[in-house]
Amino acid sequence: MKLIKKFLGKLIRFLYRLVYRFIPCQKETILFISFHGRGYSDNPMALHQYITTHSRYHNYRCIYAIKNHKQKNLKIDNAKIIEYFSIPYFFYLARSKYWISNCKLPKYVLKKPTQVYLQTWHGTPLKKLAHDIEVPDGTTFYRSGMSIEEMRSTYDNDVSKYNYMISPSSFTTEVFQSAFAINKERLIETGYPRNDILSNYQDEDIDRIKAELKLPKDKKIILYAPTWRDNSFNLKGYTFKLEVDFKKWQNELGDEYIVLFKPHYLIINDFDLESVKDFVYFIDPKEDISRLYLIGDILITDYSSVFFDYAILKRPIYFYMYDLESYRDELRGFYLDVYKDLPGQIIEDENLLLEEIKQNNFDYDKLELFNLRFNNHEDGRASKRVLEILLK
């Protein structure tokens, strides 16, 4: 079966290369892709929702490519859902005037001169990316098996097709120029559309999300959102060793808090949380995290870029970096001085972390300075700015 699927995939790509030039573009058709078809999320989702709710864009036809969408029973207002990497997917790659994606597209994707590609990306970078990653000679990357040169070439291929790439801040504009080897003229410093809700939400939005997740209304919420480690994986994907004692968290914080545990979407292993099931609520890694920001009273993370977005809410952020030395020196370099630039305290000891939360120790002045530097465009109107540039 795998061989058949592999053959069919190659056949579809071959036919696509032959015919894509001859499929005329529809000038008001937009193809949306989030995380290689993982779902309806992130900046593409936010831009689609803005188009849907503003009459000036009512003539635009929206196509959303999602893997296994029939099994997921997805329905999206004002969008035709197609299967990612299917014949309709390749047809709409050729048919759509506009592409909106939040991650690099594979090399087989071919773009006509009349098409417009908006790369939204999916976060402000803390960890080094693409051309900025430094690894020893001969290193290959686990998921792709590529060398550093091959990996960089995939970015170069994708960047060559961009008409526009979104940047949320002047800091990110500088980083993207070096990481992606892109000229500044194609970077549009607008803020991230997905963060508009963090400035525009209403109290009823919080009540609705809590009700959907069946969360108690009388407890504050800690959002624990760690990222993946490059050196922890198996044949299926990245794994994450849970270096926290949730039972201890419950004993120390359970009277006042519950925990939402949301691993990074690349993490594939299971977690045994049965003993703390009324205190820790597990969120599927593939779920979009943006709505969790709204209901989280506190964020605990490590090296994930989620804190850039969450900081907009002006709520406490704690960095539980129990493996900071090895992560920094052996796995990834950082763009920031984590001891000076982060909007919260770095904590390597679990007991100290719990004590800081219990004592409500947090420096809001540091958070305000962080937002001035990294979130100065996040005013709830990023979607409007992006679409005015893209669709003119």
| CA-to-CA separations, 186 to 106, 119, 160, 163, 210, in angstroms, rounded | 20, 10, 11, 6, 40
- Write down the pLDDT at residue 145: 76
Q: What is the DSSP letter of 327?
A: I
pLDDT confidence tier of residue 231, bands split at 50, 70 and 90 = low
- Write down the pLDDT at residue 270: 74
- Write down the pLDDT at residue 268: 66
- Write down the pLDDT at residue 230: 62
**63-72, 85-94, 263-272: range with lowest mean pLDDT:** 263-272
- In the predicted structure, residue 233 carries a pLDDT above the cut 70: no
- Write down the pLDDT at residue 385: 98
What is the share, in percent, of the chain residues with pLDDT greater than 90?
79
pLDDT tens-digit series, residues 92-145: 999 999 999 999 999 999 999 999 999 999 999 998 999 998 877 777 765 667
Q: Are 285 and 263 contacting, i.e. CB atoms less than 8 angstroms apart?
A: yes
- Write down the pLDDT at residue 330: 65
Distance of alpha carbon 248 from alpha carbon 251, whole angstroms: 5
Query: Which domains does the chain show, CATH number per domain?
Result: 16-195+380-391 (3.40.50.11820), 202-374 (3.40.50.12580)
- Once rounded to an integer, what is the mean pLDDT over residues 367-387? 97
- In the predicted structure, residue 238 carries a pLDDT above the cut 70: no
pLDDT tens-digit series, residues 252-302: 999 999 999 998 777 766 778 899 999 999 998 888 898 999 999 999 999
Helices vs. strands in the chain: H and E counts, helices first:
16, 13
Torsion angle, alpha carbons of 298, 300, 304, 310, to 10: 10
pLDDT confidence tier of residue 390, bands split at 50, 70 and 90 = very high
pLDDT tens-digit series, residues 206-220: 999 999 999 999 999
- Write down the pLDDT at residue 246: 96
More confident residue, 16 or 329: 16
Contact partners, residue 83, CB within 8 Å, separation at least 6 = 65, 66, 67, 68, 69, 70, 89
Instruction: Dump the DSSP string for 62-86.
Output: EEEEETTHHHHT---TT-EEEETTS
Number of Cβ within 10 Å of residue 140's Cβ equals: 12
Instruction: Dump the DSSP string for 282-298.
Output: E--TTS-SHHHHHH-SE
pLDDT tens-digit series, residues 139-179: 776 566 789 899 999 999 999 999 999 999 999 999 999 99
What's the chain's average pLDDT? Answer: 92
pLDDT confidence tier of residue 28, bands split at 50, 70 and 90 = very high
- Once rounded to an integer, what is the mean pLDDT over residues 19-31? 97
- In the predicted structure, residue 237 carries a pLDDT above the cut 70: no
pLDDT confidence tier of residue 321, bands split at 50, 70 and 90 = very high
| CA-to-CA separations, 176 to 97, 126, 167, 169, 248, in angstroms, rounded | 25, 12, 8, 11, 41
More confident residue, 286 or 71: 71
- Once rounded to an integer, what is the mean pLDDT over residues 340-355? 96
- Write down the pLDDT at residue 2: 77
pLDDT confidence tier of residue 52, bands split at 50, 70 and 90 = very high
- Write down the pLDDT at residue 6: 86
- Write down the pLDDT at residue 134: 83
Torsion angle, alpha carbons of 97, 102, 183, 92, to 10: -20
